[in-house]
Chain A
Amino acid sequence: DTEVTQTPKHLVMGMTNKKSLKCEQHMGHRAMYWYKQKAKKPPELMFVYSYEKLSINESVPSRFSPECPNSSLLNLHLHALQPEDSALYLCASSQAPLEGQGVVLKSGNTIYFGEGSWLTVV
């Protein structure tokens, strides 16, 4: 069972609002991701958490703030967004590579995506 659940499915927010996107997985994965996808474009990586620690931040503006409360949950806090931030936000999870522990997995880790949260900033 490969399921990543995201809420809400749709969100409309004003530029002065504070909102959060939520993600949950029960596959025992220890790596979780946020991607952003614009229409007719591939997903773009934003953040990666590995073992509940932020391991990658792809130079994302500070108006996006990720949080990983535990190994199953991932949040994306949104504040003072711009209309150009309107997009599909995808959460994903995978088994975690063990790079930090001195072992690099030779096989790729399959990344499983949720259905996404459609965000519109007005």
Chain B
Amino acid sequence: EDQVTQSPEALRLQEGESSSLNCSYTVSGLRGLFWYRQDPGKGPEFLFTLYSAGEEKEKERLKATLTKKESFLHITAPKPEDSATYLCAVQGAGGTASKLTFGTGTRLQVTL
């Protein structure tokens, strides 16, 4: 069974204070690892898909990296508008390609 563990559960940063969120996973044959951002009361917004170890993707202040056991979402010089819950999910080859296994998320708060 695929499993995803995210840490920390909550993170409070000051504006400009860079940090990383962790997503550890166990999966039988990784089809893809996904990062989403979710604002309160809204649906998850797609950020990145990573397919293989060593892959990196960037978007504005966010950079996602992938190893064989974990993924990191690096946030450089965050702003208050980056405050949200960040969800990590995997698709494994063991089950149907349609199914995502989510972690419980990291709630990020960025203060002035």
Contact = CB atoms under 8 A, between A and B. Distances in A.
B interface residue count range (under 10 / 10 to 19 / 20 to 34 / 35 or more): 20 to 34
Interface of B: 30-34, 36, 41-46, 49, 51, 87, 89, 91, 93, 96-100, 102-105
Interface stretch (A13-21, A38-46, A66-74, A75-83): A38-46
Which of A2, A113, A118 has the most C-beta atoms of chain B within 10 angstroms of its own C-beta? Answer: A113
Given A55-B98, A56-B96, A116-B43, A108 B103 contact: no
Contact of B97 (A41, A45, A109, A113): A109
Contacts, number: 81
Contacts of B44: 43, 90, 113
Contacts of B46: 2, 110-113
B104 A110 contact: no
